[in-house]
Amino acid sequence: MLSCKQTSQLLSQSLDRPLSARERFALRLHLWICKYCRRFGQQINLLRTTVKQWGERVEGDAGIQLPADAKVRIASLIRTNSH
Amino acid sequence: MTSTHDWLNEHGDYLYRFALARLRDPHQAEDAVQETFLAAIKNPTFEEQSSARTWLTGILKHKIIDQMRKSVREVAASDLMEEDADMDEFFDAKGHWTDRPQHWGMPEGALEQQQFLTVLQECLDRLPTKQQAIFMLRDVEETENEEICKELNISATNAWVMLYRARMGMRKCLEMNWLQAS
Protein backbone atom coordinates (compact mmCIF):
# COMPACT_ATOMS: atom_id res chain seq x y z
CA MET A 1 0.00 0.00 0.00
CA LEU A 2 1.35 3.40 -0.95
CA SER A 3 1.79 6.06 1.69
CA CYS A 4 0.38 9.56 1.19
CA LYS A 5 3.90 10.78 0.54
CA GLN A 6 4.46 8.23 -2.23
CA THR A 7 1.00 8.87 -3.62
CA SER A 8 1.55 12.61 -3.83
CA GLN A 9 4.84 11.98 -5.64
CA LEU A 10 3.17 9.71 -8.17
CA LEU A 11 0.31 12.16 -8.66
CA SER A 12 2.80 14.90 -9.44
CA GLN A 13 4.79 12.65 -11.79
CA SER A 14 1.60 11.65 -13.59
CA LEU A 15 1.58 15.22 -14.92
CA ASP A 16 5.08 14.75 -16.32
CA ARG A 17 5.38 11.16 -17.49
CA PRO A 18 3.15 8.19 -18.28
CA LEU A 19 2.81 5.96 -15.21
CA SER A 20 3.22 2.19 -15.45
CA ALA A 21 0.20 -0.08 -15.08
CA ARG A 22 1.41 -1.12 -11.65
CA GLU A 23 1.80 2.49 -10.56
CA ARG A 24 -1.64 3.41 -11.86
CA PHE A 25 -3.19 0.50 -9.98
CA ALA A 26 -1.45 1.34 -6.71
CA LEU A 27 -2.45 4.96 -7.12
CA ARG A 28 -6.09 4.13 -7.75
CA LEU A 29 -6.18 1.89 -4.70
CA HIS A 30 -4.82 4.59 -2.44
CA LEU A 31 -7.01 7.33 -3.87
CA TRP A 32 -10.05 5.17 -3.34
CA ILE A 33 -9.59 5.29 0.41
CA CYS A 34 -7.81 8.63 0.90
CA LYS A 35 -9.70 11.87 0.36
CA TYR A 36 -6.68 14.02 1.20
CA CYS A 37 -4.67 12.59 -1.65
CA ARG A 38 -7.70 12.91 -3.92
CA ARG A 39 -7.82 16.58 -3.02
CA PHE A 40 -4.13 16.94 -3.58
CA GLY A 41 -4.47 15.46 -7.07
CA GLN A 42 -7.32 17.79 -7.97
CA GLN A 43 -5.49 20.78 -6.61
CA ILE A 44 -2.24 20.27 -8.51
CA ASN A 45 -4.28 19.80 -11.67
CA LEU A 46 -6.09 23.02 -10.93
CA LEU A 47 -2.77 24.69 -10.27
CA ARG A 48 -1.51 23.71 -13.70
CA THR A 49 -4.70 24.91 -15.41
CA THR A 50 -4.64 28.19 -13.54
CA VAL A 51 -1.02 29.05 -14.19
CA LYS A 52 -1.54 28.21 -17.83
CA GLN A 53 -4.62 30.45 -17.98
CA TRP A 54 -2.73 33.25 -16.30
CA GLY A 55 0.00 32.93 -18.93
CA GLU A 56 -2.52 33.04 -21.77
CA ARG A 57 -4.16 36.06 -20.25
CA VAL A 58 -0.86 37.96 -20.06
CA GLU A 59 -0.09 36.95 -23.63
CA GLY A 60 -3.43 38.27 -24.85
CA ASP A 61 -3.50 41.46 -22.78
CA ALA A 62 -3.01 44.29 -25.28
CA GLY A 63 -2.60 46.66 -22.34
CA ILE A 64 0.79 45.12 -21.58
CA GLN A 65 3.38 46.64 -23.89
CA LEU A 66 7.09 46.60 -24.28
CA PRO A 67 8.15 49.66 -22.24
CA ALA A 68 8.89 52.73 -24.39
CA ASP A 69 12.51 53.05 -23.24
CA ALA A 70 13.18 49.42 -24.10
CA LYS A 71 11.66 50.00 -27.53
CA VAL A 72 13.96 52.96 -28.15
CA ARG A 73 16.97 51.00 -26.94
CA ILE A 74 16.17 47.95 -29.05
CA ALA A 75 15.44 50.10 -32.13
CA SER A 76 18.85 51.74 -31.83
CA LEU A 77 20.53 48.37 -31.31
CA ILE A 78 18.83 47.12 -34.45
CA ARG A 79 20.10 50.17 -36.34
CA THR A 80 23.69 49.81 -35.20
CA ASN A 81 23.77 46.08 -35.73
CA SER A 82 22.18 45.85 -39.15
CA HIS A 83 24.10 46.69 -42.26
CA MET B 1 16.84 44.97 -43.89
CA THR B 2 14.32 47.74 -43.38
CA SER B 3 11.67 45.30 -42.30
CA THR B 4 13.42 44.66 -39.00
CA HIS B 5 12.13 48.01 -37.75
CA ASP B 6 8.64 46.96 -38.65
CA TRP B 7 9.18 43.75 -36.72
CA LEU B 8 9.81 45.73 -33.57
CA ASN B 9 6.67 47.81 -34.07
CA GLU B 10 4.51 44.96 -35.16
CA HIS B 11 5.64 42.18 -32.90
CA GLY B 12 7.56 43.83 -30.04
CA ASP B 13 4.61 44.07 -27.68
CA TYR B 14 3.44 40.54 -28.40
CA LEU B 15 6.91 39.08 -27.88
CA TYR B 16 7.23 41.02 -24.64
CA ARG B 17 3.94 39.63 -23.35
CA PHE B 18 4.94 36.13 -24.42
CA ALA B 19 8.21 36.46 -22.49
CA LEU B 20 6.52 38.04 -19.48
CA ALA B 21 4.03 35.18 -19.24
CA ARG B 22 6.95 32.79 -18.82
CA LEU B 23 9.67 34.78 -17.07
CA ARG B 24 7.33 37.04 -15.05
CA ASP B 25 10.18 39.49 -14.48
CA PRO B 26 9.81 42.61 -16.68
CA HIS B 27 13.58 43.18 -17.00
CA GLN B 28 14.26 39.59 -17.96
CA ALA B 29 11.40 39.74 -20.43
CA GLU B 30 12.85 42.91 -22.00
CA ASP B 31 16.26 41.28 -22.24
CA ALA B 32 14.83 38.19 -23.90
CA VAL B 33 13.01 40.34 -26.48
CA GLN B 34 16.15 42.40 -27.12
CA GLU B 35 18.24 39.26 -27.62
CA THR B 36 15.58 37.93 -29.97
CA PHE B 37 15.73 40.96 -32.26
CA LEU B 38 19.52 40.99 -32.21
CA ALA B 39 19.59 37.34 -33.22
CA ALA B 40 16.92 37.95 -35.85
CA ILE B 41 18.79 40.77 -37.63
CA LYS B 42 22.02 38.84 -37.56
CA ASN B 43 20.43 36.02 -39.42
CA PRO B 44 17.32 37.31 -41.14
CA THR B 45 16.62 34.06 -42.90
CA PHE B 46 13.00 34.87 -42.86
CA GLU B 47 11.28 36.89 -45.57
CA GLU B 48 7.58 36.25 -45.47
CA GLN B 49 6.01 38.86 -43.26
CA SER B 50 2.99 36.65 -42.64
CA SER B 51 4.83 34.28 -40.38
CA ALA B 52 7.53 36.59 -39.05
CA ARG B 53 5.83 36.40 -35.69
CA THR B 54 6.06 32.62 -35.59
CA TRP B 55 9.70 32.78 -36.54
CA LEU B 56 10.49 35.44 -33.94
CA THR B 57 8.55 33.55 -31.27
CA GLY B 58 10.65 30.48 -32.03
CA ILE B 59 13.82 32.50 -31.40
CA LEU B 60 12.29 34.04 -28.29
CA LYS B 61 11.61 30.62 -26.76
CA HIS B 62 15.32 29.91 -26.78
CA LYS B 63 16.12 33.31 -25.34
CA ILE B 64 13.62 32.73 -22.53
CA ILE B 65 15.34 29.47 -21.63
CA ASP B 66 18.69 31.31 -21.75
CA GLN B 67 17.34 33.83 -19.23
CA MET B 68 16.08 31.04 -17.00
CA ARG B 69 19.37 29.23 -17.18
CA LYS B 70 21.12 32.45 -16.19
CA SER B 71 18.95 33.07 -13.17
CA VAL B 72 19.18 29.43 -12.16
CA ARG B 73 22.95 29.65 -12.30
CA GLU B 74 23.08 32.89 -10.34
CA VAL B 75 21.18 31.55 -7.40
CA ALA B 76 22.33 27.95 -7.61
CA ALA B 77 24.42 28.24 -4.46
CA SER B 78 21.76 29.90 -2.31
CA ASP B 79 19.18 27.39 -3.42
CA LEU B 80 21.24 24.37 -2.51
CA MET B 81 19.96 24.27 1.03
CA GLU B 82 16.39 24.25 -0.14
CA GLU B 83 17.07 21.65 -2.79
CA ASP B 84 18.43 19.33 -0.16
CA ALA B 85 15.58 19.79 2.25
CA ASP B 86 13.29 16.77 2.18
CA MET B 87 9.55 16.87 2.51
CA ASP B 88 9.48 16.61 6.29
CA GLU B 89 7.34 19.66 6.64
CA PHE B 90 4.55 17.92 4.72
CA PHE B 91 4.62 14.31 5.99
CA ASP B 92 5.30 12.41 9.20
CA ALA B 93 7.73 9.51 9.49
CA LYS B 94 5.12 7.07 8.18
CA GLY B 95 4.41 9.19 5.15
CA HIS B 96 1.05 10.55 6.31
CA TRP B 97 0.10 14.15 5.65
CA THR B 98 0.98 16.32 8.63
CA ASP B 99 -0.93 19.18 7.08
CA ARG B 100 -3.87 17.61 5.29
CA PRO B 101 -5.00 19.24 2.07
CA GLN B 102 -8.11 21.26 2.85
CA HIS B 103 -11.26 21.30 0.83
CA TRP B 104 -11.11 24.23 -1.60
CA GLY B 105 -14.62 25.45 -1.99
CA MET B 106 -14.12 27.03 -5.37
CA PRO B 107 -16.90 29.48 -6.11
CA GLU B 108 -17.68 29.96 -9.77
CA GLY B 109 -15.12 32.23 -11.36
CA ALA B 110 -12.78 32.13 -8.38
CA LEU B 111 -9.83 31.70 -10.69
CA GLU B 112 -10.69 34.93 -12.43
CA GLN B 113 -10.54 36.94 -9.24
CA GLN B 114 -7.76 39.45 -9.00
CA GLN B 115 -7.11 38.41 -5.43
CA PHE B 116 -6.47 34.83 -6.42
CA LEU B 117 -4.13 35.85 -9.23
CA THR B 118 -2.22 38.12 -6.86
CA VAL B 119 -1.75 35.29 -4.36
CA LEU B 120 -0.71 32.98 -7.20
CA GLN B 121 2.04 35.41 -8.16
CA GLU B 122 3.19 35.83 -4.58
CA CYS B 123 3.37 32.08 -4.15
CA LEU B 124 5.37 31.70 -7.37
CA ASP B 125 7.76 34.40 -6.13
CA ARG B 126 8.40 32.42 -2.97
CA LEU B 127 9.54 29.30 -4.81
CA PRO B 128 13.28 28.76 -5.15
CA THR B 129 14.37 30.16 -8.55
CA LYS B 130 15.12 26.79 -10.05
CA GLN B 131 11.71 25.44 -9.13
CA GLN B 132 10.07 28.57 -10.52
CA ALA B 133 11.84 28.20 -13.83
CA ILE B 134 11.08 24.54 -14.29
CA PHE B 135 7.49 24.96 -13.14
CA MET B 136 6.86 27.77 -15.63
CA LEU B 137 8.51 25.80 -18.43
CA ARG B 138 6.48 22.72 -17.73
CA ASP B 139 3.08 24.11 -16.84
CA VAL B 140 2.84 27.33 -18.87
CA GLU B 141 4.98 26.48 -21.85
CA GLU B 142 4.18 22.75 -21.74
CA THR B 143 7.77 22.00 -22.58
CA GLU B 144 8.50 18.29 -22.77
CA ASN B 145 10.40 16.96 -19.79
CA GLU B 146 13.16 15.71 -22.03
CA GLU B 147 13.78 19.19 -23.35
CA ILE B 148 13.70 20.76 -19.89
CA CYS B 149 16.34 18.30 -18.74
CA LYS B 150 18.53 19.03 -21.73
CA GLU B 151 18.16 22.81 -21.50
CA LEU B 152 18.64 23.10 -17.74
CA ASN B 153 21.14 20.26 -17.64
CA ILE B 154 19.39 18.13 -15.04
CA SER B 155 18.32 14.46 -14.93
CA ALA B 156 14.74 13.33 -15.46
CA THR B 157 14.48 12.26 -11.82
CA ASN B 158 15.81 15.62 -10.74
CA ALA B 159 13.16 17.34 -12.85
CA TRP B 160 10.33 15.26 -11.34
CA VAL B 161 11.58 16.00 -7.84
CA MET B 162 11.78 19.72 -8.51
CA LEU B 163 8.34 19.83 -10.11
CA TYR B 164 6.96 17.87 -7.17
CA ARG B 165 8.47 20.32 -4.69
CA ALA B 166 7.22 23.27 -6.68
CA ARG B 167 3.68 21.89 -6.74
CA MET B 168 3.76 20.98 -3.05
CA GLY B 169 4.98 24.46 -2.20
CA MET B 170 2.51 26.22 -4.46
CA ARG B 171 -0.45 24.17 -3.26
CA LYS B 172 0.28 24.85 0.37
CA CYS B 173 1.01 28.51 -0.21
CA LEU B 174 -2.29 28.97 -2.06
CA GLU B 175 -4.17 27.15 0.64
CA MET B 176 -2.69 29.30 3.39
CA ASN B 177 -2.85 32.66 1.69
CA TRP B 178 -5.81 32.56 -0.58
CA LEU B 179 -8.27 30.18 1.02
CA GLN B 180 -7.95 31.85 4.36
CA ALA B 181 -8.22 35.32 2.96
CA SER B 182 -11.36 34.58 0.98
Q: Which residues contact B169 (CB under 8 A, 6 or more apart)?
A: B123, B126, B127, B131
pLDDT along chain B (182 residues), means of 10: 72 95 93 94 69 90 90 62 62 91 77 81 90 88 83 86 93 85 56
The 8-class DSSP code of residue B51 comes to G
- Please list the alpha-helical segments (H only) found in A1-83: 4-13, 21-33, 35-60, 68-81
In a domain, A79, yes or no: no
In a domain, A56, yes or no: yes
In a domain, A81, yes or no: no
What are chain B's domains? 1-80 (1.10.1740.10), 85-182 (1.10.10.10)
- Of B76, B78, B65, B85, give the one whose Cα is nearest residue B161: B85
Highest mean pLDDT out of A30-34, A43-47, A54-58, B161-165? A30-34
Beta carbons of B104 and A39 less than 8 Å apart: yes
Give me the pLDDT at residue B2, please. Answer: 45
Nearest C-alpha of chain B: how many angstroms from A12? 6
Q: Residue B41: which of A5, A49, A82 has the nearest Cβ? A: A82
Give me the pLDDT at residue B147, please. Answer: 85
Beta carbons of B96 and A3 less than 8 Å apart: yes
Instruction: Domain count for chain A, please give it.
Output: 1
Give me the pLDDT at residue B84, please. Answer: 46
Which one has a higher pLDDT value, A45 or B89? A45
Give me the pLDDT at residue B79, please. Answer: 52
A13: chain B residues, CB-CB within 8 Å: 160, 164
In a domain, A34, yes or no: yes
Beta carbons of A55 and B22 less than 8 Å apart: yes
- Segment holding A11, helix H or strand E: helix A4-13
* Beta bridge partners of residue B91, listed in sequence order: B97
In a domain, A8, yes or no: yes
Give me the pLDDT at residue A50, please. Answer: 87
Beta carbons of B5 and A66 less than 8 Å apart: no
In a domain, A72, yes or no: no
Q: pTM score, two decimals?
A: 0.85
Nearest chain B residue (CA) to A1:
B95
Nearest chain B residue (CA) to A18:
B145
Mean pLDDT of chain A: 92
Is residue A23 pLDDT above 80, yes or no? yes
Give the range of the structural domain holding residue A15, as residue numbers without chain letter. 4-63
Give me the pLDDT at residue B68, please. Answer: 87
ipTM at complex level: 0.89
d(CA A53, CA B140): 8
Beta carbons of B102 and A39 less than 8 Å apart: yes
In a domain, A69, yes or no: no
Beta carbons of B12 and A66 less than 8 Å apart: yes
Give me the pLDDT at residue B115, please. Answer: 81
Nearest C-alpha of chain A: how many angstroms from B31? 9
In a domain, A49, yes or no: yes
Residue A26 banded pLDDT, cuts 50, 70, 90: very high
Helix or strand or coil: residue B25?
coil
Q: Could you report the per-residue pLDDT of B74-101, keeping only the tens digit for each?
A: 665 555 545 445 667 899 989 999 989 9
Give me the pLDDT at residue B50, please. Answer: 57
